[in-house]
Chain A
């Protein structure tokens, strides 16, 4: 991004987004494959598994959806749990707003749909650090579409290959492993650790509760505990206002 001209064309921005997004597909494609396998194993049909990847378009929420649906959880609890998992997107939406708010509605709808963790990660960096250009939103289109295509294809391949992969490979364990890769490095403050530990403990002790409601309870409990710790710590140490570098 350093040698960028002041005005890039829409095509140049688009391909820059694609190029920035491509390396992340190393983590996305195996996850998509495993989701395809897991969807079928959970009792969803091929069509349901494949369409879930474009209707929900969010890995963690799709896993929760498949697991809860397989367990015969009431629809309202499925919807509620999946929705809590996806609440974080409001943050992405909020921080993207200043760069996208001026666009026509059809653009905001399309880019909103494509606003996932991975596309947000690369495009917000480009918006913040790169030159302000007229067509910079094409960067998010490029990164978002790259992820979308990779996610759909890998889900499809997972669905097709799913039946041929033996159970003993324990490939579904790749899902918690992917989440470990995301969570472990993100624990930086004491409040993060508290959120993690409280969610962990609740997810175990709430297992006997009906409808797999431990997912939503431990998620909300972890969020509340982290937030209260954060609030308490920041109130007691008003001088420490600078966020820690990543």
Chain B
């Protein structure tokens, strides 16, 4: 079953990359659709980030205080806004997490 799902989603994903190269959609996409698709990365990635930061994997509850991942995420967000650099963001976030986990 897992192989079927992998292949089906793979085909769909290829479809999203290939569809406009087929020439079937001659006039291009309508403006409202282009506008809507422009929000996909922000909405999808935020939906992955926020629970990964705030939900405690053990208890499945939201934790705000004494949450090292939250502080690491805040530092990483500041670094991301200041530097716009992926490596700087990942390393500052991981470094903050390690420091908080090991020394506090």
Q: Which residue of the partner chain A has the closest CB to B34?
A: A91
**Chain B interface main SS type:** helix
User: Which residues of chain B are within 8 angstroms of A64 by Cβ–Cβ distance?
Assistant: 48
Contact of B93 among A55, A60, A92, A177 (CB under 8 A): A177
Report B103 CB to chain A, min CB distance, Å: 13
Report A88 CB to chain B, min CB distance, Å: 4
**A49-90 at interface with B (beta carbon < 8 Å):** 51-52, 55-58, 60-61, 63-65, 69, 75, 78-79, 82-90
User: Which residues of chain A are within 8 angstroms of B5 by Cβ–Cβ distance?
Assistant: 69, 75, 78-79
**A166-215 at interface with B (beta carbon < 8 Å):** 168-171, 173-187, 191-192, 195-196, 198-200, 202-204, 207, 214-215
Most buried by A among B5, B16, B39, B76: B39
Q: Which residue of the partner chain B has the closest CB to A177?
A: B93
Contact B86 A218 (CB under 8 A): no
User: Which residues of chain A are within 8 angstroms of B38 by Cβ–Cβ distance?
Assistant: 91, 226
User: Which residues of chain B are within 8 angstroms of A26 by Cβ–Cβ distance?
Assistant: 86-87
Interface size class of B (residues with CB under 8 A): 35 or more
Interface membership of chain A positions 153-172, coded 1 if the CB is closer than 8 angstroms to chain B and 0 otherwise: 00000000000000011110
Q: Is B29 an interface residue when CB atoms closer than 8 A count as contact? A: yes
A168/B101 contact (C-beta < 8 A), A56-B6, A109-B18, A176-B49 known:
yes
Contact A170 B86 (CB under 8 A): no
A-B contact pairs, 26 of them (CB 8 A): A48-B6, A63-B48, A78-B5, A82-B9, A82-B12, A84-B44, A86-B12, A89-B17, A97-B23, A108-B18, A174-B93, A175-B52, A177-B76, A177-B89, A177-B90, A179-B45, A180-B93, A183-B45, A184-B81, A184-B89, A185-B81, A192-B39, A199-B50, A207-B55, A218-B47, A227-B32
Q: A84-B44, A85-B44, A183-B41 are in contact. List 6 more A-B contacts (CB 8 A).
A: A82-B9, A88-B40, A97-B23, A175-B52, A178-B89, A196-B42
Binding site for B on A (CB under 8 A): 26-27, 30, 44, 48, 51-52, 55-58, 60-61, 63-65, 69, 75, 78-79, 82-94, 96-97, 100-101, 108-109, 111-113, 115, 168-171, 173-187, 191-192, 195-196, 198-200, 202-204, 207, 214-215, 218-224, 226-227, 230-231
Binding site for A on B (CB under 8 A): 1-10, 12-14, 16-23, 25, 28-29, 32, 34-55, 60, 62, 69, 72-73, 76-77, 80-81, 84-87, 89-90, 93-94, 97-98, 101
